[in-house]
């Protein structure tokens, strides 16, 4: 029998109109958009389905993405597939928390809105930035970051040969020069509004911790893999610390996928806009079966499971 993992992508995959076919077709999907609109006093259909520049501003992007992914998940649930484990890249971890029944949908929407605001406010615009590093191994990138003046650290371990760095703008630019000299194929600046998953986001994590401490957190019914440790989480005890640390810590995505494969996962189902995580999984282990659910017609792919 196939062992299935549900994956949920992070910020950056958003686009106008994402999830509209699910909204139009599935009652449960539509109700997710309506719930988010009610909780936040924010018209999610206008934000997501119409041209709206706010969609690409972190404090709005995050809740738009989570609303859309959860709406898609509602349709996937009708296929009666129970994953053995869940995982999400950065922001996507919150949808994994909902699927694992750690958090209610209402609390996920509330927390993600707060998370986006705190992350946006943590660092003034243009002070920090991020860049993707292609073609170098993890250890060399870590070493160069450690030897660069100022704040620059690994933000994401995505897949072999693809790492994202984050920190002060001048430090990221200095590291870029060193990384290219060391043989990086390319170092690509990312179009982001802040130095996410760097120590510069520590204040955002502390604000988020205060929100988490008054939210009801349950033991996972289905285990999920934490970004910060790439370990299976099976009890509620480490969750507050993990989520508070997540915004300023490295996302260990490659290690998370490797952990799931080592635990017997053979099929990965990516639920959300784009195919980024599907691509990462294939680069980590091309023998894995990968399915992405982005449009309603993609649901037919699940019939083979």
Residues marked active site are found at: 90, 197
Task: Evaluate the CA torsion angle 187, 198, 85, 82 in order and state its sign.
Answer: negative
DSSP state of 63: H
Residues 6 or more apart in contact with residue 228 via CB below 8 angstroms: 242, 245, 246, 249, 250, 251, 252
Here the tokens at position 200 are: 């510069």
d(CA 80, CA 72): 14
C-alpha separations of 275 from 14, 187, 214, 280 in Å: 11, 21, 35, 9
3-state SS record for 210-246: HHHCCCCCCCCCCCEECCCCCCEECCCCCHHHHHHHH
Q: Tokens 């693809």: give the residue.
A: 162
- Tell me how far the alpha carbon of residue 295 is from its chain's centroid: 19
Residue at token pair 């062992």:
3
**Helix (H) or strand (E) run with residue 128 in it:** strand 128-134
Structure tokens at 236: 């509620």
């Amino acid at each position: 029998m196939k062992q299935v993992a549900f994956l949920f992508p992070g910020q950056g995959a958003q686009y106008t109109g994402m999830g509209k076919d699910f909204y139009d077709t599935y009652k449960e999907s539509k109700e997710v958009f309506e719930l988010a609109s009610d909780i936040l006093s924010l018209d999610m259909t206008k934000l997501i389905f119409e041209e709206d520049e706010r969609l690409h501003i972190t404090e709005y992007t995050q809740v738009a993405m989570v609303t859309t992914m959860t709406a898609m998940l509602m349709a996937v649930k009708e296929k009666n597939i129970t994953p053995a484990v869940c995982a999400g890249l950065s922001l996507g971890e919150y949808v994994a928390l909902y699927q694992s029944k750690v958090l209610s949908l209402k609390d996920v929407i509330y927390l993600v809105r707060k998370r986006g605001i705190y992350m946006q406010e943590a660092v003034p615009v243009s002070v920090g930035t991020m860049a993707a590093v292609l073609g170098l191994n993890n250890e060399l990138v870590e070493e160069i970051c450690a030897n660069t003046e100022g704040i620059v650290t690994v933000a994401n371990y995505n897949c072999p040969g693809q790492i994202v760095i984050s920190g002060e703008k001048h430090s990221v630019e200095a590291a870029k020069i060193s990384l290219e000299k060391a043989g990086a194929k390319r170092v690509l600046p990312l179009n982001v509004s802040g130095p996410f998953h760097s120590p510069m986001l520590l204040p955002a994590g502390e604000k988020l911790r205060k929100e988490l401490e008054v939210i009801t957190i349950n033991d996972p019914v289905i285990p999920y893999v934490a970004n910060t440790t790439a370990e299976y989480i099976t009890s509620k005890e480490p969750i507050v610390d993990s989520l508070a640390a997540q915004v300023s810590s490295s996302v260990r995505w490659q290690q998370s996928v490797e952990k799931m494969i080592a635990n017997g996962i053979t099929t990965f189902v990516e639920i959300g806009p784009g195919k980024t995580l599907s691509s990462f999984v294939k680069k980590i282990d091309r023998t894995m079966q990968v399915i992405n659910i982005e449009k309603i017609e993609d649901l037919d792919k699940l019939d083979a499971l």
